[in-house]
Structure 1
Amino acid sequence: MTLDFAAGDRSAMLDRVIGMARGPYGYVVTPNVDHVIKLMDGRVRRDVYEGADLKICDSRILAHLARLRGISLTVYPGSDLTADLLASCASQGLTIGVFGPDQAAFDELSALYPRQRLLWIEAPMLRPGAPEWDAAVRSAADAEWDVLLACVSFPKQELFAHAVRAAGRRTGVALCVGASVDFLTGRQKRAPEMFQRLSLEWLHRLLSQPRRMFRRYVVEGPAIFAWFLRTEVLGSPR
């Protein structure tokens, strides 16, 4: 599998996303190293990522590896994309659905962005294939939004966005953006800017949550270098 990331700078990508909100239904994924490893070893369905209409790089490590092959990738983390979308004047007038955060987190988000038209869509504990999952998919597919922030962790959010299309959604764009709302409301803290600039955001998360992140970053993470050497994981931006 080859991931063809979006071309252009952050402003151009944001414009593309806002444009998608007014067109036929599509969804956006934001791959990082963990996502790519699980895609390549088969733990995540590849058709879900292949079905994405836009793939935006969410990893400076991937961008560094791409540079070794002469490929220039713009890194635009999902949390930054979400913040820019909500702050953009161009998105005002759109209805932005929020799927994943609880009612209290949604209320906090609404207070931060009073000019945006936000819609809370309840997300019960989800297990793909369960009756609650199917009901949530149908609820999201039928709701009146132009942009859907799908924030239920990888790979559930990608599976969910894919399932919304299969449920017959015709318009709008779903963004698979993980903990973005938690970062905006302060429920989770992002790495300091220095760590981000040095491509060490992963280290900050490891030090902050060692038990949760040890396997991801220390045991599984280094596999990205082997995948990079023996496969064409990264394609030219489009």
Structure 2
Amino acid sequence: MTLDFAEGDRATLLDQVAAMARQPYGYVVTPNVDHVIKLMDGRVAEDVYRGAALMICDSRILAHLARLRGKRLSVYPGSDMTADLLASGHDLTFGVFGPDRAAFDDLVARYPARRFTYIEAPMLTPGSPEWDATVKTACKADWDVLLTCVSFPKQERFAHALRVSGRPFGVALCVGASIDFLTGRQHRAPKVFQQLSLEWLHRLLSQPKRMFRRYVIEGPAIFGWFLKTEVFASPGG
């Protein structure tokens, strides 16, 4: 695949992410179909997305397309990775950026043995004074792992801004609605939908007005991207 996805099973990737918490700062992105479409049409700055230290596949659809080119992608959704990291034995302090205080308190109650730092995330416009001030606050805050849970691509831009601002160590995870899933504010697709690669359908049926454009109008563009970048542009295509 054109994107440089990380390789390894879930346990290997989880250990790799945990190790990054003690290393010079880096951030992890979790591409799905929507992310790739916005990256290929220029709605996401390429340097922000490709500047990630680790890129972990969050889409079974992308994994199926990769298999057509003879490549196996490990699918590790950001919500699963977040839950696994919180439940692991790694001694880490977690920063939480995105959820409101009530969601943060619910998360703390769910994981009483963990250390958490709350970083307020008001409605931010990248490049605004409020944005810059929040980046500085997060840059100086106490955390080994920062759960960056705001909308795509704002969370990726925020994680990138932390590197520009000189965050010395730790890892930021761009993991969207992960905290909402853990605290019950949103519900993931049933296992059968996940196993059949139909999580997108569950979300569409659950939130039709919000998800119609993403999954019905924009989503199918992934197949044109695949043909252009992986089939016709390939010497063996």
What's the TM-score once normalised by structure 2's chain length?
0.96
Aligned pair 1:117/2:115, yes or no? yes
- Aligned counterpart in structure 2 of residue 138 of structure 1, from 136, 139, 142: 136
What do residues 110-145 of structure 1 show as CA deviations (whole Å, max 9, x unaligned)?
Answer: 010011111111111111111111111110011111
CA RMSD of superposed structures (Å): 1.1
1-side partners of 2:50 and 2:188: how far apart?
Answer: 29
Q: How far apart, in 2, do the equivalents of 1:133 and 1:232 lie? A: 37
**Partner in structure 1 of residue 167 of structure 2:** 169
- Is residue 6 of structure 1 aligned with residue 2 of structure 2? no
Partner deviation per Cα, 1:3-45 (whole Å, 9 max, x = no partner): 1111000000000000000000000000000000000010110
2:69–2:230 CA contact under 8 A, matched in 1: no
Distance 1:153 1:30 in 2: 13
For residues 75-97 of structure 1, what are the alpha-carbon distances to aligned partners after superposition, in whole Å with 9 as ceiling and x for unaligned?
A: 0000000000000012xx31110
Question: Counterparts of 2:230 and 2:195 in 1: how far apart (Å)?
Answer: 26
Percent identity among equivalent residues?
77
**Residue of structure 2 in register with 1:201 after alignment:** 199
The answer to whether the 8 A contact 2:95-2:146 is kept is yes
Equivalent positions of 1:206-225 (< 5 A) are: 206-225=204-223
Per-residue displacement from partner, 1:130-184 (whole Å, max 9, x unpaired)? 1111111110011111000000110000000000000111100000000000000
- Determine if the alignment matches structure 1 residue 129 to structure 2 residue 114: no
CA distance in structure 2 between the partners assigned to 1:78 and 1:132 by the alignment: 27
Structure 1 segments of 4+ aligned residues over 3 angstroms from their partners:
none
Give the secondary structure class of the aligned counterpart of 1:89.
coil
For 2:99 and 2:52, the matched residues in 1 are separated by 23
One-letter amino acid of the structure 2 residue matched with residue 162 of structure 1 = H
Rounded Cα–Cα distance in structure 2 between residues aligned with 1:10 and 1:211: 33
* Structure 1 unaligned regions, length at least 5: 234-238
C-alpha distance in 2 between matches for 1:56 and 1:173: 14
Could you state the TM-score of these two structures normalised by the residue count of structure 1? 0.95
Partner of 2:108: helix, strand, or coil?
helix
Structure 2, unmatched stretches of 5+, are 232-237
CA distance in 1, matches of 2:67, 2:2: 16
Determine the C-alpha separation between the residues in 1 that align with 2:122 and 2:134.
8
Q: How does 1:76-95 map to 2 (within 5 A)?
A: 76-90=76-90, 93-95=91-93
> Structure 1, residues 47-106: CA drift from partner, whole Å, max 9, x if none?
01110000000000000000000000010000000000000012xx31110000011100
Matches for 1:29-48 after TM superposition, within 5 Å: 29-48=29-48
1:183-202 matched pairs, under 5 angstroms: 183-202=181-200
Q: Look up the match of 1:236.
A: none
- In the alignment, the residues of structure 2 paired with residue 113 and residue 218 of structure 1 have an alpha-carbon distance, to the nearest angstrom, of 37
TM superposition shift of 1:2? 2.9
Aligned partner of 2:224 in structure 1 is 226
Quote the offset at 1:232 in angstroms. 3.8
Aligned to 1:179: 177
